[in-house]
Amino acid sequence: MLALIGGALLLAAAMRLLNPLPPLRLRIETRALTGTENTRLGCAAAPLFVCHPGLTGVYLLDDALEAFAARLHLVRRAERSLDLQYYIWRCDVSGLLLLDALRAAADRGVRVRMLLDDNGVAGLDEILAAFDRHANLEVRLFNPFVIRRPKAIGYLLDFPRLNRRMHNKCFIADNQAMIVGGRNVGDEYFDAAHDASFVDLDAFGIGGTVSDVSCDFDRYWASASAYPAHLILPSPPPGRLAALHREVAAVQQSPLARRYAEAERSSIVTELVAGRLPLEWAVVTVMSDDPAKAFGKLDDTALLGPRLAAAIGQPKSHLGIVSAYFVLTAAGTRAFAAMAAACADLQVMTNSVWASSHVMIHTGYAQCRRPLLVAGIRLWEMKPRDPHHKARLKFGKQRSGVKSGTILRSSGSALHAKAFTVDRQRLFVGSFNFDPRSLRLNTEMGLIIDSPVLAGRLQDMFCNTAADIAYEVRLAGRRLEWIEHTEAGEMVHRHEPGTGPLQRLVLAMLSHVPVKWLL
């Protein structure tokens, strides 16, 4: 057995030597464009800055279709530059529509830079390789896999490096408007997938913070983990961009594309240009990990997690957390318990086991439920998919013609949002989950928004509608109960809803697998 293990390690070492990452010495560096005030987006925003000097105008994108339309309209209205940074970009209807719009933008002279985590671009190698050969398009892959098919081999050969991913998500047009938040690019993030949708939250913004997000993008773009696509990907077949246009023409006839087209008719970008977008003006701070985190060389003080903890501080009256994944270490559990001792209302919303897309992550969360409940923290778990349940978490003020806000929704959905609000004063919107992976392995980013109006709306979401779409977890002696609030009253579940004896046995067994540091 030892001989087999030794042989496998030697083979892995040999494969790494035969497939090294290419050198970056010939990489050409670029930076965010300045002097874009005379673009259409810049001219639309300029009059608003006069009334709100030094502040950032924020509009929260909780409606998924509206979030897609906002991205598409920014691409179509951009005149000088587009900078995009994403963890996942699907080769599906929304992904192809946005890719074709980016191609069209590049054709009309817009400089497009795409920084994509190489773990989340399945099926796009040919398109990205063709993009990277366009005069106005440049694609870089973060922490790339040298062996393209199957990529899983890379994990066997170089796990310590490839286990660290870029989870950041931002979208910047003409260095004048931005979208930062939790959504990747894919139909499930824009409420149009056949089988499931993720409930998520982004922040659209104009103002001074946009340049800060651009600087952060530049930092990642120039990092030692960002490789030009042509150094990693094989050459594309001739005419690949023309083929993309034909593929998009075909998918535009699909029901999903028609849903997107309907959403495009009313866009926040159009409302912005018309001066009708209801922005909240606030001090906004960009927070992100150093891209060197991908090499595992940063100490704790340089990580985003401790800075977010400082931003939370000691809540006096309320802390509400929405986190798709909520897995605390022992130290993290103690820190939350200490916070709860001085905070009248500390609540957490995460996925139930049946709504979760990662069962292993749920087992990590399940281990910290009891001590959190003992400390007085209220736990809510997103209900499993139920096509007959239409309750929505209403967010608050929306522009005219848009449905009531839906930060969380239990109609065929799983929670993917990452946000928190503190004392009705400030909130965070970004990519950071409260789990070891976000803390120590993946790079993350987000915005701290000092806005009592927006923070108050998010807090009201907890108070007014959480019971409609989630189970409340409570202590019942030494056991846990899941309370389902219905029109007929409280329904008590003695076991995790949606699980049978076999599923509970599997969950119990998985809870002993020592992989919490990976979750």
Active site residues: 167, 169, 174, 416, 418, 423
Burial class (CB in 10 A: 0-12, 13-18, 19+), 195: exposed
Tell which residue, 431, 497, 459, has the closest CA to residue 88. 431
CB 356 within 8 A of CB 507: no
480-491: b or e for each residue (b if 16 or more CB lie within 10 Å)? bbbbebeeeeee
Euclidean distance between CA atoms 274 and 244, whole angstroms: 33
Euclidean distance between CA atoms 180 and 168, whole angstroms: 9
Q: Report how far Cα 163 is from the mean position of its chain's Cα atoms.
A: 18
Euclidean distance between CA atoms 212 and 218, whole angstroms: 10
E strand or H helix that includes residue 6: helix 2-18
DSSP 393-411: -------TTSPPP-SSB-S
Euclidean distance between CA atoms 516 and 519, whole angstroms: 5
Euclidean distance between CA atoms 450 and 426, whole angstroms: 4
User: Token match 């310590």: residue?
Assistant: 160
Cα-Cα-Cα-Cα dihedral of 228, 94, 384, 371, to 10°?
Answer: 30
- Which residues neighbour 433 within 8 Å (Cβ) at sequence distance 6 or greater? 323, 324, 325, 326, 418
Relative orientation angle of helices 64-77 and 255-264, to the nearest 10 degrees? 70
